[in-house]
Structure 1
Amino acid sequence: MCESKQARAALRRGLGLPVERCNYMHRYLVPWLRDHDDQHHADVRRAYYAVASLIAARTRSARDTAPEDGTSISWFERPNLGASLGQAVAKGVLKENSAESALHLMARQSSDAVHPGLPALVRQILSGNITVDWAVLLVDLARWNRDRDRIATRWLESYFRTASGTTDPTHLNPAEETGR
């Protein structure tokens, strides 16, 4: 969808906004979503709108960077937002206390508070040529209100492992990621 300037502009308009204020995005996203009237669906829909707007808002250099092939590793080994923040700290893109504070703050918030802060945080990560695994972020955001503590713990663990350089974020122990 982001090949078209018109689509990118429409999708960018939704940065940090609730779905109800994203009228220009419906044209592009409604065909991809099933229609259900329950809270779970509302969380999934909001996650799709948030991630679509974040992808569309990438700078030209971030759009031109080829994404890493995440299909060769298992789902639970793929880097989450915490790992991306850890990479940003390790590369000096973000200060350690800023990244850690952002993660701890998100860990205490509902999705209504998390979504508005994501655009600035993701923009900082991308400015350092650090990739964000959009599929993992989408699933985490869709499940945030139902499973916030587990997701936040996974993000924090990945952050500390990556920022401290004790592990490659793409080679985390799957059992640790799933809490088994």
Structure 2
Amino acid sequence: MTDSTPAAPAPPVSSPVRVSDRFIAYVHQVCESNQARAALRRGLGLPVERCNHMHRYLVPWLRDHDDPHHADVRRAYYAVASLIAARPRSARDTTPGHGGSLSWYERSNLGASLGQAVAAGVLKENSAESALHLMTRQSSDAVHPGLPALVRQLLLGGVAVDWAVLLEDLAWWNRSRDRIATRWLESYFRTADGTTDPAGSDPAQENDR
């Protein structure tokens, strides 16, 4: 990695920061360079094996080991980095979306974002529900290619995406799809109906992953 590539930011000493949030902040920083943003954007919807131009920016974040789960984690990192890089111009000036003082289970997942889009009239209810139900039945191999168009619709409509939550959900999708899918569906229906909190998860069901 050359000197022109920003170093991974260190978390504040006073408060712990999730690795996923640190990574999202790093990608936003990298994307301040037009050249780097273009390189990351070229991986949109592609498997890691076809993203050679992204390695210089992302490899330092991923340890190389034989855990079969590593492939899912790596693909999630590459996918989310490319989604951030491909944000429409209107969404580029936003700071990294995170929960601030919210507990992890209170933060918005993709289901909540879809619910917000329906409530705001950005997406039609039938379209949002169909997309969500389809994803919850698919493996990550099928979910990843459909994310770019869906996320772009959300961002163009002014609906925020919590990138760190999406990153972790994608990384764990093949191992915990049913649990994550249930959380997305619950969050969607609560948010689309305008009831309670947007995340809608039971803290007892969440872990630090």
TM range (shorter): over 0.9
Which of 123, 137, 145 is the matching residue for 1:108?
137
More helix by share: 1
Q: CA deviation at 1:173?
A: 5.0
CA drift of 1:38 comes to 2.9
* 3-state secondary structure, aligned to 1:79: coil
Structure 2: gaps of 5 or more residues: 1-29
The answer for the alignment partner of 1:11 in structure 2 is 40
Deviation at 1:157, TM superposition (A): 0.5
Distance 2:83 2:175 in 1: 22
Question: Which of 93, 117, 122 is residue 93 of structure 1 equivalent to?
Answer: 122
Q: 1:75 to 1:38 in 2, by over 3 A?
A: same
For each residue in 1:6-50, what CA deviation from the matched residue of structure 2 results, as whole angstroms up to 9, or x when unmatched? 110010011111100111111110011111133200000000000
Runs of 4+ in 1 over 2 A off after TM superposition: 65-69, 172-179
- One-letter code of the match for 1:31? P
Identity of aligned residues (%): 82
- Among 37, 41, 44, the residue aligned to 2:73: 44
With over 3 angstroms needed to count, the CA separation of the structure-2 counterparts of 1:97 and 1:125, relative to structure 1, is same
Please tell me whether residue 152 in structure 1 is matched to residue 190 in structure 2: no
Mean Cα deviation higher: 80-89 or 62-71: 62-71
Superimposed CA distance per residue, residues 151-179 of structure 1 (whole angstroms, 9 cap, x where no aligned partner): 01100000000001112315x35437639
Q: 2 CA distance for matches of 1:174 and 1:67?
A: 25
Q: How many residues align?
A: 178
1:44-77 per-position Cα deviation (integer Å, ceiling 9, x unaligned):
0000000000000001210113455512110010
What CA distance in whole angstroms lies between the structure 1 residues aligned with 2:142 and 2:173? 11
Q: Is this contact kept in 1: 2:41–2:82, CA < 8 A?
A: yes
Is residue 124 from structure 1 mapped to residue 145 from structure 2 by the alignment?
A: no
Structure 1 length-normalised TM: 0.94
The one of 48, 64, 82 equivalent to 2:93 is 64
Within 5 A, what are the aligned runs for 1:25-44?
A: 25-44=54-73
Are 2:206 and 1:178 aligned? yes
Q: Which piece of structure 1 moves more, 100-109 or 35-44? A: 35-44
Is the CA contact (8 Å cut-off) linking 1:67 and 1:131 kept in structure 2?
Answer: no
Give the residue type in structure 1 aligned to 2:56.
R
Give the match's secondary structure for 1:24. helix
Amino acid at match of 1:144: W
Indicate conservation of the 8 Å contact 2:136/2:177, yes or no: yes
Distance in 2 (CA, whole Å) between partners of 1:114 and 1:173 is 22
The root-mean-square deviation of aligned C-alpha atoms, in Å, is 1.6
Q: How far apart are the structure 2 equivalents of 1:103 and 1:114?
A: 10
Asked whether 1:136 is paired with 2:165, we answer yes
